[in-house]
Amino acid sequence: MNFEKTFKTLLEESYTYGLVPRPVAIVCVKENPFTVANHTPVNKNPFIYAVAVDKENYSYNLILESDNFSVNFLPYQYLEEIHKIGKTHGNQVNKWEITKLNHQKGLSIDSLIITDSLIIYECQKLNVIDFTDHCLVFGKVVLKHYKKGYLKPSKIRYTLFHGKNLYSTHKKPKYVKI
């Protein structure tokens, strides 16, 4: 294999989307939802979840002010709503009015949760680490909600983000036996 013909090498300061699709989540802090594609569990016990927040967005200041947030996983059928939330600013637009998503106050937190979700994590904020353009917010998951009857792998259709307004979903999952 000729490496130079097969791969393109990017400079350190280059950043590219689309190489690895990432599942999309909607984070709610206080009454404001925002879309994130950079998020991950970081610890099992206690269950700690981390989300990356752009420091230029309205949500950044809200996350600094709040003690809690929710992480909501909507199915692919809500793609338009997910995109609208990601492309609008909560200090300029009421995202609940433009999406009509069902929501309520969390059971253990003051921030809202989206009841159209397949999975919801209610999180108490633990720590925020600032980087140049984003921060990483860590939250202890104090409650997990799963929509009954929808978590079988053959029924789930999560939204995947490729970057630059490109989304997809996975096809029917395949079990591999070893």
Task: Delineate the domains of the chain, giving CATH numbers in brackets.
Answer: 22-168 (2.30.110.10)
Residue 20 has pLDDT above 60, yes or no: yes
Residue 17 has pLDDT above 60, yes or no: no
pLDDT at 16: 61
Q: For the residues of the chain, what is the DSSP string, one character each?
A: --HHHH-----TT---SSSS-EE-EEEEETTEEEEES-EEEEETTTTEEEEEEETTSHHHHHHHH-SEEEEEE-BGGGHHHHHHHHHS-TTTS-HHHHH---EEE-SSSSSEEETT-SEEEEEEEEEEEE-SSEEEEEEEEEEEEE-TT--STTT--B-EEEETTEEE---S------
Model confidence band, residue 4 (pLDDT cutoffs 50, 70, 90): confident
Q: For the residues of 78-114, what is the DSSP string, one character each?
A: GHHHHHHHHHS-TTTS-HHHHH---EEE-SSSSSEEE
Please give the average per-residue pLDDT across 154-168, as a whole number: 82
pLDDT at 122: 98
Residue 137 has pLDDT above 90, yes or no: yes
Q: Return mean pLDDT, the chain.
A: 90
Residue 50 has pLDDT above 80, yes or no: yes
Global pTM? 0.89
